[in-house]
């Protein structure tokens, strides 16, 4: 497979071939449906560690904001359990894919944030289950004490 490197500083119109290990950089596939003028981009590999760190932290921050907004806005029991499962899968995904690019201090801070979100989702799911049980018990009591003849 041919690989190319385009550097903004030293680009003089020549195409430079570059052999890169898969573990050397962070791979990103372009969004589907976007058309580029004259070229077809299959994947982009970022090599600079600072840029990789910023990209991954931005992705993580956006995902955490979605979880926080979901935690604030949602009232449904089954959706909170589904979000809890999704959060647990995301924790594993971060450990598997992103940890090698992030520094240790950020990873521990991120794990603490994810644990807090996980606890909040669990308490929300437990509270909604308890409310549903109370409602069903109340309904059963009302149906038992109904009209008698």
| 101, two tokens | 């690019």
pLDDT in tens, 65-115: 999 988 888 666 667 788 889 999 999 999 999 999 999 999 999 999 999
CB-CB contact of 27 with 43 (8 Å): yes
Torsion angle of the four alpha carbons 102, 94, 57, 55, in this order, in degrees rounded to the nearest 10: 90
Q: Mean pLDDT across the stretch 130-145?
A: 70
Predicted local confidence at residue 8, as pLDDT: 60
User: What confidence score (pLDDT) does residue 4 get?
Assistant: 56
Q: Tokens representing 80?
A: 């909170």
Q: For tokens 């449906």, name the residue.
A: 33
Half-sphere exposure of 38 (CA within 13 A, CB side): 0
User: 84 or 132: which carries more pLDDT confidence?
Assistant: 84
Q: What single DSSP character describes residue 99?
A: G
Read off the tokens for 43. 């994947």
Which of residues 48 and 19 earns the better pLDDT score?
48
The answer on pLDDT for 7 being more than 80 is: no
69 or 39: which leads in pLDDT: 69
CA distances from 8 to 24, 36, 144 (A): 20, 18, 78
Read off the pTM: 0.71
DSSP 113-133: HHHHHHHHHHHHHHHHHHHHH
pLDDT over 80 at 54, yes or no: yes
């Amino acid at each position: 497979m041919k690989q190319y490197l385009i550097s903004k500083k030293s680009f003089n119109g020549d195409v430079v071939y570059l052999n890169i290990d898969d573990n050397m950089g962070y791979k990103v596939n372009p969004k589907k449906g976007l058309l580029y003028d004259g070229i077809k981009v299959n994947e982009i590999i970022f090599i600079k560690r600072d840029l990789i760190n910023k990209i991954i932290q931005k992705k993580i921050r956006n995902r955490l904001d979605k979880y926080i907004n979901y935690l604030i806005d949602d009232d449904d029991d089954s959706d909170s359990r589904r979000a809890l499962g999704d959060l647990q899968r995301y924790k594993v995904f971060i450990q598997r894919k992103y940890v090698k690019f992030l520094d240790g201090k950020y990873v521990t801070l991120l794990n603490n944030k994810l644990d807090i979100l996980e606890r909040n989702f669990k308490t929300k799911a437990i509270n909604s289950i308890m409310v549903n049980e109370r409602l069903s018990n109340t309904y059963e009591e009302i149906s038992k004490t109904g009209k008698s003849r």
